[in-house]
Amino acid sequence: MNPLSRLIDPAVLAPVLQAIAFAMAVSLLSLVLLLVLQKIVLERRHRAEQEASDRHARALANGTRVEDLAVDPRRLSERRALARALRAGVADVATGQLRSAPWYGELVRRLQRDGTRRAWGERVAAFEMLGDLGAAELRPFLEEAARRERHPQAYAACLGCLAKFADQASGLATLWNRLQTNPPLSGSFNEGLFRMAIAALSRHSSTEAAADAVQQLLADANPHDPLTLDVICAVGKSGLTSLVPQLVALYGQPEAPKSLRIGCVRAVGMLQPDHPLLLNALSDRDWEVQASGAKYLRGTAPGSIAGLSNCLTSRAFYVRYNAAITLAALGQQGRTVLERALTSSDAFAREISRYALRVLDSADAPRAQDSPDAPRVLEGADA
């Protein structure tokens, strides 16, 4: 008899299949038990961290000095709990208080060690907590970590920490140089870094010092460099009104690309919405720039009203839309222009004016001015 035929004999095969099925069931059950056990452990750890964080936050809110908190820096859960309490911001904790705490030195040493671990999640947590602690004495360590870091999230956390430590103009320049060397991060993140650094420099030094540092960066920047646009966007959202003349000059450069002109118009619109640059932008050669000017221009001067009125007949939808919404936000003078446009010979002007008046008369009337953090969704794809 062929030996192979015995292997497929039901009398022989059935016990083998039963043994395999039993082994698979045991393996699956073991896996389920392992996952349940892991979930229980993680939940207990998270609950312990949350309770410790709430305890620290309550103590700080009740006036307890941070150096009097019972923190064991050797335990990861304690380090994370302290980070949560500091990040919650229930009380303004001075960096000097943190540095006088008996556990501060050991905590920083362990965070520094965590910043070199192989697990990128631990490096991210370490960099973020160093920023929360204000451990500016570790700036050289962080600069070196940023140079060698390859994981994007850990790299971003490291740069965010460096941005919080910007207490001199050189801190802003360090960020610029680092992003020039390793630029694959998104533009919105770069903008956020510069905003964070500008805020830190303004807090540690002065608003004038922050403006001077940004002015130097923009003076030496290439107008075609995307990082220049990120800085300009950060300027508009940081309230550095003293930089409006420089933004106007950048807009007026003969070689200024469209993206740079749009960025300058947005920034000036956030800082000084009645500036003549916004009126000039309504006649720019690119419709995306016109759309940005129409969105951010505010003011009831005859020139502004006339410029917005002319935009109602633009061939570009977003130019018409933003001009109509801006006119609706300018009060009675804007309404008069829109009502007059209802009898215009231009079908585009009639349609968009009718829409703007309907919005104006509804409960959702347009805001007088955008928040710096509001999404820019109505300026066109490239505006």
The mean pLDDT of 106-112, rounded to a whole number, is 91
In a domain, 103, yes or no: yes
Selection from 346, 285, 281, 330 nearest residue 307 by Cα = 281
- Predicted TM-score (pTM) of the model is 0.78
Residue linked to tokens 């919005």: 359
Contact between 311 and 294 (Cβ < 8 Å): yes
In a domain, 168, yes or no: no
The string of pLDDT tens digits covering residues 285-330 is: 999 999 999 999 998 899 999 999 999 999 999 999 999 999 999 9
Of the candidates 115, 138, 161, which is a domain's last residue?
Answer: 138
Local structure of residue 243 (DSSP, 8 states):
G
Reported confidence tier of residue 53, pLDDT bands at 50, 70, 90 = confident
Burial of 102 (0-12, 13-18, 19+ CB in 10 A): exposed
Contact between 63 and 109 (Cβ < 8 Å): no
In a domain, 72, yes or no: yes
* CATH number of the domain within which 342 lies: 1.25.10
Q: How far is CA 330 from the centre of its chain?
A: 30
The mean pLDDT of 212-218, rounded to a whole number, is 94
pLDDT on residue 89: 66
In a domain, 319, yes or no: yes
In a domain, 329, yes or no: yes
pLDDT on residue 58: 84
Residue type, 351: E
The string of pLDDT tens digits covering residues 140-158 is: 999 999 999 989 999 999 9
Selection from 336, 295, 297 nearest residue 316 by Cα = 295
Residue 129's contacts (CB-CB under 8 Å, 6 or more residues apart) are 79, 80, 82, 83, 111
Of the candidates 107, 138, 169, which is a domain's last residue?
Answer: 138
In a domain, 328, yes or no: yes
The string of pLDDT tens digits covering residues 229-286 is: 999 999 999 999 999 999 999 999 988 999 999 999 999 999 999 999 999 999 999 9
**Cα dihedral across residues 353, 359, 365, 366: positive or negative:** negative
Of the candidates 74, 103, 138, which is a domain's last residue?
Answer: 138
Domain that holds residue 351: 298-383
Residue linked to tokens 């940081």: 238
DSSP string, 262-311: HHHHHHHHHH-TT-HHHHHHTT-SSHHHHHHHHHH-----HHHHHHHHHH
In a domain, 223, yes or no: no
Total structural domains in the chain? Answer: 2
End-to-end CA distance of the chain: 82
Residue type, 312: L
Residues 310, 300: Cα–Cα separation, whole Å? 15
Contact between 290 and 301 (Cβ < 8 Å): no
Selection from 346, 364, 206, 368 nearest residue 300 by Cα = 368
In a domain, 359, yes or no: yes
Residues 344, 329: Cα–Cα separation, whole Å? 21
Residue type, 341: A
Q: Which residue has the higher pLDDT, 71 or 352?
A: 352
Residues 226, 180: Cα–Cα separation, whole Å? 10
Q: Would the pLDDT of 380 be above 50?
A: no
